[in-house]
Structure 1
Amino acid sequence: MGGCAGSQQRLSDSEGEVSAPELRPILLDRQGAHWKNVIGFWLLGLCNNFSYVVMLSAAHDILSHERTSGNKSHAVLLADILPTLVIKLLAPLGLHLLPYSPRVLVSGVCAAGSFILVAFSHSVGMSLCGVVFASISSGLGEVTFLSLTAFYPRAVISWWSSGTGAAGLLGALSYLGLTQAGLSPQHTLLSMLGIPTLLLASYFFLLTSPEPLDPRGEEEAERAARQPLMGSEAPEQQSKPDSSTNLSFQEKWTVFKGLLWYIIPLVLVYFAEYFINQGLFELLFFRNTSLSHAQQYRWYQMLYQAGVFASRSSLRCCHIRFTWVLALLQFFNLAFLLVDVWLSFLPNIYLVFVIVLYEGLLGGAAYVNTFHNIALETSDKHREFAMAATCISDTLGISLSGLLALPLHDFLCHLS
């Protein structure tokens, strides 16, 4: 009996020795799939916003060459915001009926179209069409890719957010660098047609299929700690994510009401943020520096984008659950800078540099933490819809700020 037991023990040990090497290829495959997915989402975030940033800069250049009035710049802003706003408003209602691949194709084609239209533009109308195409590409892409994160591990949300932050910084730097190196705006734009191609390649060739390789261990470990947005979350709803087509209107409305806890703070953060950017940046002018007015404005934009990139990449270091705090801090920034525009009490531009960098940090942190919290606190069944519905927050905040910031900017200019 002892020999038999010893044989069985050795057999069991030998089976364990054999099974470990057999598991290694599976683990390596999963690790490889993880890195392909997070890099893929980082590139998707970069490409989705990169085209938008570069094209807008070029459109403003072309409009200035056309010697257009200030009202035309307002037209650029409207062409920039309105198509994205319409897409994000309608997305939760019916966009999920269209498969992901056609949506990504449309987004890529619109991005390429925006480059081509602005590059060959000889009129304000054609330039504005390019702005509209870029807005459609960016809005449709953001809704699509954030909804797609519902079918992947939650880590991809942080990587997507980091990519979108990098787009603002790299987009502005690349356009500025290439034009200053001697390329014409037209050739600069045409040289960037590879960006939409990279977007399509990242989606169709880099991302893996989420179903066979999506590791569930992380989700099982965190599930007990979830505080769902919906109190009636049932265990059977927490399997793999389902398509939003299975949700009734009543379910969507219930989920949306729960999302307001995160939507409202993000709207407020972006309202205050873009009120500063659109209404106050040009008025924060210091004469006791070697920087010209245009150079000061460019430094404000660059530091803001650097702050956004840093905080959108910071989720692993810092997770903020109560995003209302970020909204309050951003409104304090707005009030402080508005008083300085009125009274000019700050002694030098470097204090404004610090505040603008801080403004970008708050805005980026609000974005990445909002979507991360929603991913944690919605059931798998509702996550795709929740991501699409929350996308409206930033665009709505920007639109509302534009309605107030532009008239205020003109009013303050008349006073000075």
Structure 2
Amino acid sequence: MGGSAGSQRRLSDSEGEVTAQEPREPRPPPPDRQGAHWKNAMGFWLLGLCNNFSYVVMLSAAHDILSHKRASGNQSHVDPGPAPTPHNNSSRFDCNSVSTAAVLLADILPTLVIKLLAPLGLHLLPYSPRVLFSGVCAAGSFILVAFSHSVVTSLCGVVLASISSGLGEVTFLSLTAFYPRAVISWWSSGTGGAGLLGALSYLGLTQVGLSPQHTLLSMLGIPALLLASYFFLLTSPGPQDPGGEEEAERAARQPLMSSEAPEAPEWKPDSSPGLSLQEKWTVFKGLQCYILPLVLVYFAEYFINQGLFELLFFRNTSLSHAQQYRWYQMLYQAGVFASRSSLRCFRIQFTWALALLQCFNLVFLLADVLLSFLPSIYIVFLVVLYEGLLGGAAYVNTFHNIALETSDEHREFAMATACVSDTLGISLSGLLALPLHDFLCHLS
């Protein structure tokens, strides 16, 4: 039953052909509909988890990627003690020669390119080759970074992880168009879990003494699980279910599906491709109150994560510099996961408030980097957790508000426009964090 998903997609991997036939010839529900529902739900949850896993791990490993030391036998070692030797003896920050923002850029720019180019022709490539290529890139990223002898080679591995995540995202989100809408919420939950589990697994395995190299190699089962979930767990796609828990399903990741609009235009006949330039401009102007706060939120939080985390180094603790960085990443992801799952508990209409609070976090932590006035790393731990809560809440509430306040014929274009906000904010933060890192590390 599960294997039929792969076979049907290989026979008719052109999305347009499937969507053209199914609405005209509705089929009766399968006998074991309940079993198929849970198989698909679990399948998309695992796809979300596996797809974003390598992206998160590379950000968690950024400090190790830029500072790893090689011994005989190509073994990569965790810092042996709580006070590692500084890479820059003239700086009090214990700086790497390259900012961890370089890893962020390598991890986000390929995804940005894929997201921008996907509507131009990605739908011409069948699903199965895309999934295979995504899995191979994910596995290649772990292997290349684990056995790398240079920062440049490691960054090439990070690029592979970004290609895998970006290609997988647009592929699996477009695939949800051929399943009941409920699978979107399961996919979203899986991607949130990837942030927490990815950061936590890297932190935990290195904390117990496993080297970064062996930690990365131990994660090779994740790409294999992604392929197994797609080819063996998903059932054959059935007619699109127009019902479901719409508010919950639209909240977190649905807007990214808009990048796949050319693949399934029949799914929403009155979607954005039919809008005039004047209509698009009118919708775009109306979105500014959502786009600008989200850009600002992501700029501030990723400026903190990849520009300041490495410089928030406390010597009066039992944690080494690398261990402190891993804890920051894990606590941030925990906050994001919690707030992305909070839409049923509370909703926030004015996301500008979240943007301003996130900017305050940036100013506060930058001031501590410059002045070193915080007495304990545990205060930073609380701020980082709070930062993650703000970021996740801004993301989920922004797209929820757009889904509620735009008309049906404008919603697809609105989502397509707004989903660039996070990527743009992250890219800008990485570009500005690089020179800041160099400036601060040259301070005595």
Give me the TM-score of the superposition, normalised by structure 1.
0.74
Q: Deviation per CA, 1:7-65, whole angstroms, max 9, x where unpaired?
A: xxxxxxxxxxxxxxxxxx96995554443444333222211111223345557535534
Distance 1:364 1:375, change over 3 A: same
1:301-320 equivalences under 5 Å are 301-320=329-348
Q: CA, structure 1 residues 256+102, in 2 after alignment: closer, same or farther (shift >3 Å)?
A: farther
CA distance in 1, matches of 2:346, 2:180: 19
| Aligned counterparts of 2:128 and 2:352: Cα–Cα separation in 1 | 35
The reply on whether 1:197 has 2:224 as its aligned counterpart is: yes
Question: What does residue range 127-166 of structure 1 map to in structure 2 within 5 Å?
Answer: 127-149=154-176, 155-166=182-193
Question: Partner amino acid for 2:296?
Answer: L
Q: Conserved in 2, the CA contact under 8 Å of 1:30 and 1:213?
A: no
- In 2, Cα distance between the equivalents of 1:311 and 1:324? 16
Q: Check 1:169–1:343 CA distance in 2 against 1; reply closer, same or farther (3 A cut).
A: same
Corresponding residue for residue 229 of structure 1:
none
Deviations 1:234-268 (A, max 9, x none): xxxx9943597965674766665555443332221
Change (3 A) 1:91 1:243: farther
Q: What is the CA-CA distance between 1:382 and the residue it aligns to?
A: 6.3
Q: Structure 1's 397 and 219: CA in aligned 2 closer, same or farther, altered over 3 A?
A: closer
The 8 Å contact of residues 315 and 368 in structure 1, kept in 2 or not, is answered as: yes
Q: What does residue 46 of structure 1 align with?
A: 49
* 2:172 corresponds to 1:169: no
In the TM superposition, residue 95 of structure 1 has moved relative to its aligned partner by 3.7
* CA pair 310-354 structure 1, distance change in 2 beyond 3 A: same
Determine the C-alpha separation between the residues in 2 that align with 1:72 and 1:289.
23
- Supply the distance in 2 between the matched residues of 1:176 and 1:137 (Cα, whole angstroms): 22
**Cα distance, 1:89–1:294 mapped onto 2, change above 3 Å:** same
Unaligned runs of 5+ in 2: 1-27, 71-86, 88-95, 251-264
Q: Is the 8 A contact 2:313 2:321 kept in 1?
A: yes
Partner amino acid, structure 1, of 2:324? Q
Provide the residue aligned with 2:14 in structure 1: none
Q: C-alpha displacement at 1:154, in angstroms?
A: 5.2
Task: Give the superposition deviation at 1:323.
Answer: 2.7
Structure 1 residue 212 corresponds to structure 2 residue 254:
no
SS at match of 1:192: helix
In the other structure, the counterpart of 1:16 is none
Q: Which SS does the other structure have where 1:49 is aligned? A: helix
Higher helix proportion, which one? 1
Q: Aligned-pair distance for 1:196? A: 1.6
Match of 1:112 among 139, 143, 167: 139
Residue 322 of structure 1: aligned partner: 350
Measured in 2, the distance between the counterparts of 1:100 and 1:381 equals 27
Q: Is the 8 A contact 2:118 2:170 kept in 1?
A: yes
Contact 1:88/1:391 (<8 A) preserved: no
2:64·2:322 contact (CA, 8 Å) conserved in 1? no
2:305 match: secondary structure: helix
Quick one: percent identity of the two aligned structures?
86
User: Is the 2:349–2:397 Cα contact (8 Å) retained in structure 1?
Assistant: yes
| Aligned residue-pair number | 377
Structure 2 residue 397 is the aligned partner of structure 1 residue 369: yes
Partner of 1:298: 326
Shift of 1:269: 0.9
Give me the whole-angstrom Cα distance separating, in 2, the residues matched to 1:355 and 1:72.
21
SS at match of 1:212: coil
Displacement of 1:88 after TM fit? 2.1
**Displacement of 1:383:** 5.7
Superposition deviation, residue 219 in structure 1:
5.4
Asked whether the 8 Å contact 1:266–1:327 carries over to 2, the reply is yes
Q: How does 1:5-404 map to 2 (within 5 A)?
A: 31-55=34-58, 57=60, 61=64, 63-65=66-68, 70-71=97-98, 75-149=102-176, 155-179=182-206, 185-208=212-235, 211-212=238-239, 214-216=241-243, 218=245, 240-241=267-268, 247=274, 250=277, 259-286=287-314, 289-377=317-405, 387-404=415-432
Counterpart of 2:8 in structure 1 is: none
Q: Is the 8 A contact 2:145 2:157 kept in 1?
A: yes
TM-score by length of 2: 0.70
Query: Do the aligned residues in 1 keep the contact of 2:100 with 2:307 (CA within 8 Å)?
Result: no
Question: Residues of 2 paired with 1:136 and 1:407: CA distance?
Answer: 26
**Structure 1: which 5+ runs fail to align?**
1-24, 224-237
Which amino acid in 1 is paired with 2:202?
Y
| Structure 1 position 346, deviation (Å) | 3.7
Aligned counterparts of 2:326 and 2:377: Cα–Cα separation in 1: 13
One-letter code aligned to 2:53? F
Q: Hey, what's the Cα distance between the residues in 2 that align with 1:215 and 1:243?
A: 15
Deviations 1:134-162 (A, max 9, x none): 11111222333344455655554443333
Task: State which structure, 1 or 2, has the greater radius of gyration over its C-alpha atoms.
Answer: 1
CA distance in 2 between partners of 1:344 and 1:184 (Å): 31
Q: In structure 1, what residue type is equivalent to 2:386? A: Y
1:58-89 per-position Cα deviation (integer Å, ceiling 9, x unaligned): 57535534689613855444322321222223
For residue 345 of structure 2, give the secondary structure of its aligned residue in structure 1: coil
Distance 1:110 1:285, change over 3 A: closer
Instruction: Determine the C-alpha separation between the residues in 2 that align with 1:274 and 1:60.
Output: 15
> Post-superposition shift, 1:274?
0.9
Q: Distance in 1 between matches of 2:232 and 2:274?
A: 30
Query: d(CA) in 2 for partners of 1:184 and 1:288?
Result: 24
